[in-house]
Amino acid sequence: MNRRDALRLMLSGAVAGCAAGVSACRRPTEAVAEPSSAVVGPEPELRLAAQGLRSVERWVHPALHYERREKKRVVCRLCPRECLVGDRERGFCGSRENRGGSYYTLVYGQAAAANIDPIEKKPFFHFLPGTRAFSIAAAGCNMDCRACQNWEISQARPEQIAGARDLPPAQVAAGALQTRCSSIAYTYSEPTVFYEYMLDTAKAGHAQGVRSVMVSGGYIRPGPLRQLLPHLDAVKIDLKSFREETYVDYCRSHLQPVLDAIRVVAGVGKWLEIVYLVVPGVNDSSTEVRDMSRWLLQVAGPGVALHFSRFFPAYQLTNLPPTPLSTLERCYQTARAAGLQYVYVGNIADPRRASTVCPGCGEVVVRRDAMRLIENRLRNGSCPKCGHRVPGVWA
């Protein structure tokens, strides 16, 4: 049996991609109101079925990081929203619910998407190049980005994922082993909101020798993040902008908590890569890119990997054009001039800007074609020509 067949067998033909398994609509408007949302469950299965929805009872699991309040209310302390949630209500993310004064996640073991991806697709360029990541997601997100590429699951209620299947932590770890994936990636939607599922899966993976990487918007409070980091091997954070106004207007969230999360990850020395989706007219000014690059240099050092990613019209920003290639090149030059040594441009076919160049001698040490490894010339993480050490996790 080949690896593709093994995955197919394990998932029973269930979950093949983000959009495929999602029923018609996005998260209802009332379910995104701050601080807490519509009354949603538990609902009788027949009534859910009549609406084309599915019961999530099998994925209900006690939540971490919350506090009880009077009148059976709870405050969720997982992310900076700190939703105050009444009995039988949910938080902003729609995937955590108050039941009688106790808080629960509704997506523990719910694979809304599961795929095997090249690690370069996450993208991680300095983490086990050329390996594959067993990639999973659950419904929900604690942000609402107007340029979201995966809004079908990130903005859906757990009941709306028609193709969701049981994939508990031990089964994810076993699946990664069977399919010869070096890591498990928590990705596509926002893993912060399926925190308990991610945490236990990362532990199960480590017990089997499989590593874990989180692909996140970084909208998580420092305490839960610190508890999680020992069980992760790398973190990718999407920095949406370096302006508070843009976070408010385009993501319904705030900049500072994301900067704090980056600082925490960098501070504990966990491998970190940053993606900056360059949206025309939104976050592409030279001043903003320069300020962001300088801040990153100061917090994470010149060896942090920064990816400028090309925007394509999506979700609520279909009125904007794709990012001009000249803008991406300007961003690249700006970040390099600020002192960052490993800057990449993604979502375009440009091997020159997807490859790693040794800062010591200018030699190409890792050659990539967009999101595919072509050649890794590093020797024990060092340039084969001059011996310069390139930061990352190489083995």
Nearest CB to ligand SF4, comparing residues 92 and 124: 92
Place of tokens 């310069």: 388
Taking the complex as a whole, the smallest distance from the CB of residue 77 to ligand SF4 amounts, in Å, to 7
Nearest CB to ligand SF4, comparing residues 134 and 194: 194
**Helix H segments across the chain?**
3-11, 45-50, 151-154, 169-178, 195-207, 222-228, 244-251, 255-267, 286-300, 325-338, 351-354
| Residues 200 and 109 sit within 8 Å (Cβ to Cβ) | no
Q: Is 351 left (phi over 0), alpha (psi -120 to 50) or beta?
A: alpha
Taking the complex as a whole, the smallest distance from the CB of residue 58 to ligand SF4 amounts, in Å, to 20
Q: Name the residue number minimizing CB distance to ligand SF4.
A: 91
Taking the complex as a whole, the smallest distance from the CB of residue 60 to ligand SF4 amounts, in Å, to 15
| Residues 210 and 183 sit within 8 Å (Cβ to Cβ) | yes
Nearest CB to ligand SF4, comparing residues 138 and 292: 138
- Interacting residue ranges for ligand SF4, rule: CB under 6 A: 76, 78-79, 81-83, 91-93, 96, 142, 193
Q: Is the peptide bond between 129 and the residue preceding it cis, with omega within 30 degrees of 0?
A: no
Taking the complex as a whole, the smallest distance from the CB of residue 250 to ligand SF4 amounts, in Å, to 17
Taking the complex as a whole, the smallest distance from the CB of residue 105 to ligand SF4 amounts, in Å, to 9
Taking the complex as a whole, the smallest distance from the CB of residue 83 to ligand SF4 amounts, in Å, to 3
Angle at 322 between CA 320 and CA 327, to 5 degrees: 110
DSSP secondary structure letter of residue 36: E
Question: Would strands 96-99 and 102-105 be described as parallel, antiparallel, or unpaired?
Answer: antiparallel
| φ, ψ dihedrals at 64, nearest 5° | -100, 165
Nearest CB to ligand SF4, comparing residues 220 and 282: 220
Nearest CB to ligand SF4, comparing residues 79 and 113: 79
Nearest CB to ligand SF4, comparing residues 76 and 215: 76
